[in-house]
């Protein structure tokens, strides 16, 4: 418990029997394992105003050290404690002076995200629900190597991270948007998802996809700062080519990203190959229609000399007709984009369905016949609500759980 107290929040273990469909008891807390602890209750009032130390980049930390008349190399020393040694208390930074440790302690938070629920197990898709300081939740999904996507089995581990609490874009099929947008995540809250999942799973993550809850390009500055930390050799050290940002199509921001000196990968959530179909399920298409989106994507490809990916969820009788397959292929050919077909994951409370296997395959064949590189995503997470926002939604709608959380 000492550790928990040190992270400035009052955390109470709840031992009541608590079972939800497909969930397994968790012991995600940074505590000696308590077999009874299958959820955590956070009593947090106003959000702590101290910034997280994981928001800081090397230059930010150098500037901070300079104000304390500390040599420049202190910043790297501190980062080494955070990202190489993964310490959990400033007091453990044994080669820093007591005064500097005290300054860090008084100015920054070094508290791990609290994992409140986990589904799945090793070798399957694992989903982590994290409670934040203001009693909101985000999800991260750890996906093991997928031979269908990567050609052969490998030890590749992909983490799907969230960038916002909720989402303002309201795509009709998506769980993340159902309860609206609450706030942007800070860079540190994005970075910490990687650190915490590595600690909790014992896995080394080597691929990051920004496909969790929220619209990454709507939290642009924090997204870029988190990517800087995730990429940096002094940070987590995952190379740009192993980082993918997915967007619902904020055209001006796609152009902005193209102008950044970054070789990260870009995925576009297309889901409709004509304006009428796309507009019916993705309100953003009214603001940036397909023509504007495709122009922005063309700009990105040209600047980066990169192929982008179109994500296309297959939803029965909405966007799975052959006319859409032909139009989708036409859009993809223009940009030489790859197409990733994703059978729709059902969301509690929504009536959309995934098409039959036969219909999925017919659509897939039609796109490929037009000369496009298209794959159907082999779903690993369907049975544990792996599509973005679903675990959070299910949890928030569960009266027992939400009640114990004093949500908002």
Cβ atoms of 347 and 303 within 8 Å: the answer is no
| 177 binds ligand SF4, rule: CB under 6 A | yes
Distance from the first to the final alpha carbon of the chain:
25
Cα–Cα distance measured from residue 156 to residue 154, given in angstroms and rounded to the nearest whole number: 5
Q: Is residue 342 a contact residue for ligand SAH (CB under 6 A)? A: yes
Burial bucket for residue 198 (CB in 10 Å: 0-12, 13-18, 19+): middle
Give the one residue of 131, 187, 214, 235 binding ligand SF4; rule: CB under 6 A.
214
Nearest to 60, CA basis, from 72, 69, 50, 48: 72
Residue 177's binding partner out of ligand SAH, ligand SF4, none, with CB under 5 to 8 Å set by partner kind: ligand SF4
CA 230-204-225 angle, to 5 degrees, is: 10
Site for ligand SAH in 364-403 (CB under 6 A): 387-388
Q: How far is CA 132 from the centre of its chain?
A: 14
Q: How far is the CB of 249 from ligand SF4 (least distance, A)?
A: 8
The piece of 54-62, 125-133, 191-199, 337-345 that touches ligand SAH (CB under 6 A) is 337-345
Rule CB under 6 A: choose which of 96, 174, 229, 318 binds ligand SF4: 174
131 binds ligand SF4 (CB under 6 A): no
Give the shortest CB-113-to-ligand SF4 separation in angstroms: 20
Interacting residue with ligand SAH among 219, 269, 385, 395 (CB under 6 A): 269
Piece in contact with ligand SF4 (CB under 6 A), picked from 28-36, 100-108, 163-171, 395-403: 163-171
How deeply is 40 buried, as exposed, middle or buried, from its count of CB atoms within 10 A (0-12, 13-18, 19+)? buried
- Smallest gap from residue 65 Cβ to ligand SAH (A): 36
248 near ligand SF4, judged by CB under 6 A: yes
347 binds ligand SAH (CB under 6 A): yes
Q: Judge whether 34 and 202 are in contact, CB under 8 Å.
A: no
Find the part of the chain contacting ligand SF4 (CB under 6 A) among 168-176, 195-203, 258-266, 400-408. Answer: 168-176
Strands of 338-343's sheet in order across: 114-119, 126-131, 137-144, 157-160, 207-210, 243-247, 265-269, 309-314, 338-343, 374-376
* CB closer to ligand SF4 out of 201 and 247: 247
Partner whose footprint covers residue 313, from ligand SF4, ligand SAH, none (CB < 5 to 8 Å by kind): ligand SAH
Q: Measured between alpha carbons, how far is residue 353 from residues 122, 138, 277, 347, 349 in Å?
A: 29, 25, 16, 9, 12
Spatial separation of the C-alpha atoms in residues 44 and 365, rounded to whole Å: 52
Task: Identify the active-site residue in 62, 139, 186, 189.
Answer: 139
Distance CA 127, CA 143 (A): 9
C-alpha 106 chain-centroid distance: 29
With CB under 6 A, what is the number of residues at the site for ligand SF4?
12
Identity of the residue, 128 or 344, whose beta carbon is nearer to ligand SF4 in the bound complex: 344
Please indicate whether residue 139 is annotated as part of the active site: yes
Among 52, 345, 385, 394, binds ligand SAH (CB under 6 A): 345
Of 342 and 376, which CB lies nearer to ligand SF4 in the complex structure? 342
Task: Write out the DSSP string of 267-305.
Answer: EEE---SSHHHHHHH-THHHHS-HHHHHHHHHHHHHHHT
* Structure tokens, 366: 């039609």
What residue ranges bind ligand SF4 (CB under 6 A)?
Answer: 167, 169-171, 174, 176-177, 214-215, 248, 269, 388
Residues marked active site are found at 139, 388
What residue ranges bind ligand SAH (CB under 6 A)?
Answer: 173-174, 211, 215, 246-248, 269, 311, 313, 342, 344-345, 347, 387-388
């Amino acid at each position: 418990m000492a550790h928990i107290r040190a992270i400035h929040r009052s955390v109470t273990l709840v031992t009541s029997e608590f079972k939800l469909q497909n969930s397994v008891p968790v012991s995600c807390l940074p505590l000696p394992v308590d077999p009874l602890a299958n959820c955590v209750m956070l009593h947090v009032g106003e959000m702590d105003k101290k910034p997280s130390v994981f928001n800081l980049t090397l230059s930010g930390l150098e500037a901070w050290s300079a104000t304390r008349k500390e040599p420049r190399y202190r910043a790297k020393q501190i980062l080494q404690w955070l990202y190489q040694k993964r310490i959990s208390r400033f007091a453990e930074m044994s080669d820093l002076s007591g005064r500097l440790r005290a300054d860090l302690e008084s100015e920054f938070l070094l508290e791990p995200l609290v994992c409140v629920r986990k589904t799945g197990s090793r070798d399957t898709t694992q989903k982590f629900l994290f409670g934040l300081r203001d009693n909101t939740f985000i999800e991260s999904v750890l996906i093991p190597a997928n031979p269908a996507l990567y050609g052969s089995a490998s030890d590749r581990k992909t983490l799907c991270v969230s960038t916002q609490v909720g989402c303002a874009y309201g795509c009709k099929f998506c769980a993340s948007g159902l309860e609206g947008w609450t706030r942007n995540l800070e860079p540190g809250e994005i970075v910490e998802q990687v650190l915490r999942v590595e600690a909790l799973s014992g896995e080394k993550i080597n691929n990051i996809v920004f496909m969790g809850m929220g619209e990454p390009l709507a939290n642009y500055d924090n997204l870029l700062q988190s990517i800087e930390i995730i990429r940096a050799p002094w940070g987590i050290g995952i190379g740009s080519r192993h980082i993918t940002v997915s967007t619902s199509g904020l055209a001006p921001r796609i152009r902005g990203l193209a102008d950044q000196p970054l070789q990260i990968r870009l995925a576009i959530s297309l889901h409709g190959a004509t304006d009428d179909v796309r507009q019916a399920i993705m309100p953003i298409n009214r603001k940036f229609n397909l023509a504007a989106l495709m122009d922005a994507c063309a700009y990105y490809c040209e600047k980066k000399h990169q192929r982008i990916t179109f994500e296309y969820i297959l939803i029965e009788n909405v966007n799975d007709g052959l006319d859409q397959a032909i139009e989708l292929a036409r859009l993809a050919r223009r940009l030489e984009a790859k197409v990733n077909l994703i059978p729709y994951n059902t969301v509690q409370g929504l009536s959309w369905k995934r098409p039959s296997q036969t219909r999925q395959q017919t659509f897939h064949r039609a796109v490929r016949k037009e000369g496009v590189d298209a794959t159907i995503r082999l779903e690993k997470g369907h049975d544990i609500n792996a599509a973005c926002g679903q675990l959070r939604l299910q949890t928030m709608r569960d009266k027992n759980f939400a009640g114990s959380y004093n949500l908002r």
